[in-house]
Each structure stands twice: as C-alpha cells, then as structure tokens.
Chain A
Amino acid sequence: MELPLISDEQVEILLSDLLEHYGYDFTGYSRASLKRRVIRLYSLDKIPGFAEFRYKIINDNVYFKRFVEQITVNVTEMFRDPAFFKTLRDVVLPRLGTYPFIRIWLAGCSTGEEAYSIAILLKELNLLHKSLIYATDLNPSVLEKAGQGMFQLSYMKQYSENYILSGGKNDFSSYYTAKYSLAKFNDDLRGKMIFSTHNLVSDHSFNEFQLILCRNVLIYFDRDLQHKVLELFDDSLEDLGYLALGTKETIDFSRISRKYKRLQSEKIWRKTN
C-alpha cells in the first residue's frame, strides 16, 4: 500500500490554478472533504502523475468542467428530511401565500430534486401559479440535468415514502411519467423554475426573495466563507422572509443571527424587521 496520491500542498497548487486560470475560488472550502474528492477523481481517471493532472485541468476545458463537477458534492434527493418539508408545507409556504407573488431561491440546487419537491408543495397549496423558483448552482452540467426534470425511476419508491412522510396526500406517481428507467416530472412544475449558474463564493445578490433554501452546502465551506455566504443570503432576503439550511447547519455563530428567529425544531429562520 502507498501513501495518498495527492499531498496537501498539491491540493493547494490545484486550488490556486483554478483561481488563476478560471476564476473559480475553492480556497474557502473545507480541506478534508475536498482533498478526498480530488484523490477520488485522480484514481478514478487513472491519471499517471500530478503534473499531467495539473496540465489537463489547466489546458483541457472539458476536463476542467469534469474536475469541478467531481470535486463538488452533488448528492441530493426529493423530500429529503420529510419533517423539514412538512414544516415548509404547514407553516412557511402558507404564510408566503398571502403575498401576491412568491420568489424562492434554491442555492446549490444540484440536479434539481429539491426544486421539484418545492414545486409539488406549491402546487398542492395552490400557490404554484404565482411562484418562481430560482434554482442556482455553480456547475452548468447539473443545471442542465435539473432542467430536464428526469430522475431514476428506481428512486421513486424512496421519494414517494419521503413525500408521504412530509404530509403529501396525493398519489406521488401522478407527478411524473415513467420513460424506460427514468421518471419525467410534469412540465407544469418545470414551468415555474429558472435555472442559472451562480457561484456563492464570488457572485453577488441578484434579487430579493421571501424564501432562500441552501441545504447541505455550507458544510463544505470554512467558517469565513460561511459568514460571507450568510451575509449574501441576508442581503437577498426580504424582511420577514425565511432562510432554510441543512439539518446539521446553523446561523448561530454568524453576525446575521441577531436579526433572525428560529422556527420550531427545524433549521428554518425568519428574518425580523
């Protein structure tokens, strides 16, 4: 057995290459996870040496895209943490329903499973017609997949269970059509989504929202970057709007926390005015 294929110093070299050549800044990412993924890709692609790896990333635009896609985590599912979606359904969205128009930002949406989950909730609350879901991610390729609204049919059993646990009363399969091994979600859901690239590290606020969801993204950032991104969310959220994070994430350490009040037991905070 041999020691790791990529050293800590080499990870830093790759990060400065990405910043210098592409303007992608990963220096605020937690290193243990990032390094694990870099090594995983390096072995997966059977790269002969670090110099080749570096050369490929800098000079091969297609490989660079693959690199970014592979070192970021794109694992997601529909109605993950059903209790969270139940709170959205029972508390948050009905309150937003009193607005003439609902703007939702799903930051770090990956392949879109949560965007479709939220659209289903809005539809069932009869709010979809006056809502827009801005779903953003730094990877163009996952957004392309999200826009297609097609997910593995084999996951539907799990998603249907999650949906029911989140308070869903309909037949979950009425929201999609099976096509070979895929489930294609209905076009009316997709019609209220806007997919766009946005990098939380470097891009600015682009609108004001009543609900911002960013779940299991901040865990990959160091504290400084978490502070910065939470301030970006604060700048993008209307008074009395809601901020929703992943089950293991918090705003408690952050400067914005004094303006926010947490909702029940979920990781949802409301901005006070």
Chain B
Amino acid sequence: MENCEALIIGGSAGSLDVLLRVLPAIRPDIKFPVIIVIHRKHGADSLLPELLSGRTRMEVKEAEEKEEIVPGTVYVAPSDYHLLVELNRTFSLDYSEKVNYSRPAIDVTFQTAAEVYKKKLVCLLLSGSNSDGVNGLKTVKEWGGMAIIQNPETAQVAFMPQQAKQHVKIDQILNIEDMAEFINLLS
C-alpha cells in the first residue's frame, strides 16, 4: 500500500508479547499513526503506554477524547472505554455496552476508522481468544482498506486470527518476525 494514513493493531490474549517484539523494529519516522487496541483488565490504566514507550523512540500515549490523531505517534486505547475515530481525525471515547464481551472492542475502532481512512487504512489483528476484530476487518475491506492478521500458527492463542481468516478476505498473513518490515514499507 502507498500512503498509509493509519495503522490499527488489535489484539487480545497473547498479543502483548507480539507488540513488545514488533514495536522496537518499527521505524520511528513512519508517516502514519499507530493505534493500539488491546483487551486488558480495567484498572491497569497507565501501565500499557508506559510499557510500550520503553520499546520505541516514537511518542506513546493513551488516546484522549477529542485529541487530534498525529502521524508518527503511538496511541493506546484506554481500558474500559471504546475508542472511536471521527471524520475530522480526532478520537472519541464511548462508554457504551461491551462488544464481544470487550471494552475497548477492536471492532468499534476498526469500523469507525474504516469509514474515515477508507483505502488508506491498514488493520492488523493479532493473537486472541475471542472473535472481536473479525466484523471490524470486514468493514475495513468494504471501505477498501487492508486487512492483515498474525499467522494463527504463530499465535499464542490462534482463535482470533483464525476466525478472521475464515470469515474475511485477508490481504496478508504475517509471521511475527516479518511484521515490522511490512509496517515500515507502508509509508
């Protein structure tokens, strides 16, 4: 893809290890924002951005409501809120019902971003034990964006990428060691 305008990474059980391996190898001068939606327990709020910021020279921060989405920044969805992307490329937060037993739900971020970035959106779904993200990837494809999954064979919990593979026309299936290079070539 040329001129990627946003990369969104969604994951659940077993995805944190992947992020910790991939993030350090992403070039800090990439021309698009990286938005991360990871299921985790409510309450451990500031820990994830802190943990990730030790692994990259890019700025890593928790996404705030009404915040402008800036290229070269890593945004982490806060726990216990859905993270949405607005048409004017700012974030909104939403405390509505859980989706797929999850808040934040990967589907919500994928779906709202799909309409905003259309063909310039890349969404990557990692390891996980439920099917959150699958409907979101469908929407991303409908709007012309790119759907990528972690190779289920390399996932600690294969269910989530496996479900995506079964139900969505996936553009690329990546092993962990190939992810950073793929991402670096997007801009």
Chain A contact residues, CB within 8 Å of chain B: 1-4, 8, 30-33, 36-37, 73, 75, 216, 219-220, 222-223, 226, 246, 248-249, 253
A216 contacts which chain B residues (CB < 8 A)? 95
A220 contacts which chain B residues (CB < 8 A)? 92, 94
Cα–Cα distance between A253 and B68 once the two chains are bound (Å): 14
Chain B contact residues, CB within 8 Å of chain A: 64-66, 78, 81-82, 84-87, 92-97, 108, 111-112, 115, 138, 141-143
* 25 A-B pairs (CB sep. < 8 Å): A1-B138, A1-B141, A2-B142, A8-B87, A30-B84, A30-B92, A31-B86, A31-B87, A32-B84, A32-B85, A32-B86, A32-B87, A32-B94, A33-B84, A33-B92, A36-B96, A36-B108, A75-B95, A219-B81, A219-B94, A220-B92, A246-B95, A248-B64, A248-B65, A253-B66
Task: Say how far B89's CB is from chain A's closest CB, in angstroms.
Answer: 11
| Nearest A-chain residue to B168, judged by Cβ | A1
Check if B92 sits within 8 Å of A32, measured CB to CB. yes
Check if B65 sits within 8 Å of A32, measured CB to CB. no
A75 contacts which chain B residues (CB < 8 A)? 95-97
Check if B112 sits within 8 Å of A36, measured CB to CB. yes
Check if A73 sits within 8 Å of B142, measured CB to CB. no
Q: Kindly identify which residue among B96, B115, B138, B143 contacts A33, using a CB–CB cutoff of 8 Å.
A: B96
Task: Say how far B185's CB is from chain A's closest CB, in angstroms.
Answer: 28
| Nearest B-chain residue to A216, judged by Cβ | B95
Check if A219 sits within 8 Å of B93, measured CB to CB. yes
Q: Known contacts A1-B138, A248-B65; is A32 also within 8 Å of B112 by CB?
A: yes
Task: Say how far A137's CB is from chain B's closest CB, in angstroms.
Answer: 15
B85 contacts which chain A residues (CB < 8 A)? 32
B65 contacts which chain A residues (CB < 8 A)? 219, 248-249
Where chain B touches its partner, the secondary structure class is mixed
A31 contacts which chain B residues (CB < 8 A)? 86-87
| Nearest A-chain residue to B135, judged by Cβ | A1
Cα–Cα distance between A4 and B111 once the two chains are bound (Å): 10
Cα–Cα distance between A30 and B94 once the two chains are bound (Å): 10
Task: Say how far B179's CB is from chain A's closest CB, in angstroms.
Answer: 26
Check if A219 sits within 8 Å of B142, measured CB to CB. no
Cα–Cα distance between A219 and B66 once the two chains are bound (Å): 8
| Nearest B-chain residue to A215, judged by Cβ | B95
Task: Say how far A178's CB is from chain B's closest CB, in angstroms.
Answer: 25
| Nearest B-chain residue to A249, judged by Cβ | B65
Cα–Cα distance between A253 and B65 once the two chains are bound (Å): 12
B95 contacts which chain A residues (CB < 8 A)? 73, 75, 216, 219, 246
B87 contacts which chain A residues (CB < 8 A)? 8, 31-32
Cα–Cα distance between A3 and B82 once the two chains are bound (Å): 21
- Which has the most chain A C-beta neighbours within 10 Å: B82, B93, B111, B115? B93
Check if A248 sits within 8 Å of B78, measured CB to CB. yes
A8 contacts which chain B residues (CB < 8 A)? 87
